[in-house]
Structure 1
């Protein structure tokens, strides 16, 4: 009911503005409530500025454009993930969560006025063109993205299937800008890709969390079990460069591997708006040892899954620290006027950790390259975005983050994991599993854990 009230209030205010901003008399009346006088004075200020723009700007302006730009500015000024969705953008978002949409196939955010790539989606035009996580998109068809809202930039990257767009990117460690010409397609990402490593380790990669994810995961695990003649000894769940998506799908994917206990909780501005999700009995992996792979492109829903499986010691988390997006966005439709995407809560792992700005730290850090980042180069994480929410578990007065249960693996097993690729090893190529050091170390670890006596395997969890 509280959510319905919020939606109704937003719709009413938006309608008043769009009708010509006849709010002056209302502000005077509302100001009788002395406690809100300053708020209403500022609303009157907005109305005055709006009327001056209409009357004095060098060219005639469209009232809807001015109001929508003002709303977008209000929301974008809160944090990197709140925004206004006009009717077209709202429809596009609804299509995207169903797992099919048009464009290039890039998950993006905004940083220092430019568009920054969180992750390209597997097997899309952007991924095939070589777009990488952390790339800064500086120009679209030769026009700077500086000053564009994130939604405006996204709208420009979308277009008719078969049309081409030229993007210019700046990449860490590269002196010159990179020009890419990409042909738009209808994006139907394969949300789950899977295969056997050898004949005993199942590998499942989840590219995003849309309405199809959990169903695709169940199908993948069942198929792997059949392909291995019921000889599976472990599962690698690859969440690298998975930018997230739907919260309910993250909960369902976590539940698929847990028999009981909390999966995730959210805490909002009002205590009674918080929510908690718990696992139901049933583990589709039937207790097989698991490794979850993460990297800086693993964000949001990916971090919910990794955090839940790590806190319950259901899986060993391997790779490098994740993106650190620990906030929840609620999409609130505005009847006849699109919707707003508003940050309404932080989420917490079962042990009570907030990973906002911190990310999930792997149990075992493993790198895919021997190259070190350029000193002073921008990192590819939430904490570096302008106006990102602070973590309530950090700071001089804040409580320390709850400790994790120990990872009870014998030393002779963890010592087998090679943190760095071997000297002279082929450069990492995501299309060639043999060059994927993180994957190869995950497989090695799983086979070693699977060889332990049953009692030691259970203790390791």
Structure 2
């Protein structure tokens, strides 16, 4: 029976092969690569055929689903650094930081000597309400030992996060007590605030630190602006340092807060995505006061849209260091198994026509090594180390020169704090020795 089945497949394959010979002999002369490019179905069939061959003839067991996922990841890697694949399990994790909340117990934790250490309980969250404290050690979760080498960040999050109103019991070891304290925590929605800080730095100057462009960010900034104005704010410092971005529409709405009516904020354009302009309205609440936007090499995407619009319209000054240079638009495409491909479909351009995206011709590894190269080249300590060709010069309405080529170059350069960023300090930080010493000291005293 087995022999007949194999012989049957070989016969079918032979017929297919002969048919292909006859078919290709009728085609105009073209390369195999050209044929695949002009016939997308042929590419899909080629991939399906390869999976079939592996399933039938490979020496060991092969998982087609895993092979397909690996192939998708490798495929997207060849396109650009920001097109990406998210499995069904990863989609929710990736979206949570930008939704403005997640469901769980409300603690910040760190793994210390194979133990879950509570760094802080989120104010007003379920753990905070029960009296769980910074410095507490979680020894058990739902009666199961939660110590040792088996634990990881994923291990902890999988057990502590969960739907609202569900329960989890943790055993806490607290300094000064010999017994284990059991807490049954009712999970709830935990806010992820985008505004990290807002305060007055002088009688008339307010400061807002924005960490991400999430669904709740605009409302948080508006609330902060209102509070600061009541305190006498006339001018604003908007700190976008190390803000890696978020939603495009939130960046547009935030820019709208500061720009006069009918000003181009940003436009997007791609080979198969026609130009789309995004303009300001009359709704903004801070269109008159002076504004300074702070950026650095960790400011990307949505942060660069806001900084670029402010700079290009001479609305304010940009302070800091050249931003990251991420100006590619990703559009999510849902796949049949609920996984998602975030595919780059267009580029961002500032109002003056500058492309925010830095080059990625030399591959993903070289692309992400760019920041290290900037540091080694001296760009973080001296603006003089940055050379711009005339071809990437642009002009604002007041004839100020601004530069393209990737990222937003600030109007006023601020060097990196070398005392806090020396190689010695970086090694201590990377190895976790600073945290380890601090936690160990607090544990003993």
User: Normalising by the residue count of structure 1, what TM-score does the alignment of the two structures yield?
Assistant: 0.55
Between the aligned partners of 2:319 and 2:63, the Cα distance in structure 1 is: 52
Alpha-carbon contact 1:201-1:236 (below 8 Å) kept: yes
Match of 1:353 in 2: 354
Shift of 1:241: 0.2
Contact in 2 for aligned 1:238/1:292 (Cα 8 Å): yes
Instruction: Provide the rounded CA distance (Å) in 2 between the counterparts of 1:79 and 1:421.
Output: 29
1:225 aligns with 2:229: yes
1:60 Cα offset (Å): 1.6
Are 2:265 and 1:266 aligned?
no
**How far apart in 2 are the matches of 1:395 and 1:71?**
37
Q: 1:87 to 1:418 in 2, by over 3 A?
A: closer
In structure 1, C-alpha distance between the alignment counterparts of 2:284 and 2:156, rounded to whole Å? 40
Q: Quick one: structure 1 residues 156 and 275, their matched pair in 2 at CA, closer, same or farther if it must change by over 3 Å?
A: farther
Query: Against the structure 1 CA distance between its residues 421 and 355, is the aligned structure 2 distance closer, same or farther, given a 3 Å change threshold?
Result: closer
Q: Report the 3-state secondary structure (helix = DSSP H, G, I; strand = E; otherwise coil) of the residue aligned with 2:241.
A: coil
What secondary structure is seen at the aligned counterpart in 1 of 2:371? Answer: coil
Deviation at residue 336 of structure 1 after TM alignment = 3.6
Shift of 1:88: 1.9
Are the aligned partners of 1:298 and 1:323 in contact in 2 as well (CA < 8 Å)? yes
State the SS of the aligned residue for 1:215. Answer: helix
| Per-residue Cα deviation, 1:389-417 (whole angstroms, up to 9, x for no partner) | xxxxx999x95442234588xxxxxxxx8
How many residue pairs were aligned?
302
1:195 match: 199
> 1:1-40 residue pairs with structure 2 within 5 A?
37-39=35-37
> SS state of the match for residue 380, structure 1?
helix
Q: Is 2:404 the partner of 1:402? A: no
Distance in 1 between residues matched to 2:394 and 2:413, nearest whole Å: 28
Q: CA deviation at 1:44?
A: 4.1
Deviation at 1:343, TM superposition (A): 0.5
* Higher normalized contact order (CA 8 Å, seq sep 6+, divided by chain length): 1
Mapping of residues 96-107 of structure 1, within 5 Å: 96-101=97-102
> Aligned partners of 2:160, 2:319: CA distance in 1, in Å?
38
| Structure 1 residues 325 and 426, CA gap change in structure 2 (3 angstroms) | closer
Alpha-carbon shift at residue 279 of structure 1 (Å):
0.3
- Alignment match, 2:371: 380
Confirm or deny that 1:314 pairs with 2:306: no
The alignment status of 1:244 with 2:245, answered yes or no, reads yes
CA contact (8 A) 2:102 2:192 kept: no
Listed as ranges, the matches of 1:60-459 within 5 Å are: 60-101=61-102, 159-161=158-160, 188-192=191-195, 193-226=197-230, 228=231, 231-260=232-261, 261-270=263-272, 273-357=274-358, 378-380=369-371, 400-406=392-398, 419=414
Secondary structure of 1:190's match? coil
CA distance in 2, matches of 1:357, 1:321: 11
Which deviations, in whole Å up to 9, do the C-alpha atoms of 1:225-256 show, x marking residues without a partner?
Answer: 12x1xx21310000000000100000000001
The answer to whether the 8 A contact 1:323-1:381 is kept is: no
The Cα RMSD (Å) is 4.5
Between the aligned partners of 2:414 and 2:220, the Cα distance in structure 1 is: 31
Aligned partner of residue 73 in structure 2, secondary structure: helix
Q: Matched residue of 2:236: which SS?
A: strand
Cα offset, 1:212, TM superposition: 0.6
What is the TM-score normalised by the length of structure 2?
Answer: 0.57
Q: 1:427 to 1:91 in 2, by over 3 A?
A: closer
- Report the CA distance shift for 1:65/1:333 in structure 2 as closer, same or farther (over 3 A): same
1:312/1:395 CA distance change after superposition, 3 Å? closer
Shift of 1:190: 1.7
Residues 262, 279 of structure 1: 8 Å contact kept? yes
For residue 188 of structure 1, report the CA deviation from its aligned partner.
Answer: 4.2
Residues of 2 paired with 1:186 and 1:66: CA distance?
Answer: 37
CA deviation profile, 1:126-178 (whole Å, cap 9, x unmatched): xx9xxxxxxxxxxxx999xxxxxxxxx9979964439xxxxxxxxxxxxxxxx
* Structure 1 residues not aligned, in runs of 5+: 1-23, 106-122, 129-140, 144-152, 163-184, 359-376, 385-393, 409-416, 429-461
**SS state at 1:274 partner:** strand
Per the TM alignment, residue 210 of structure 1 is displaced from its structure 2 partner at its CA by 0.9
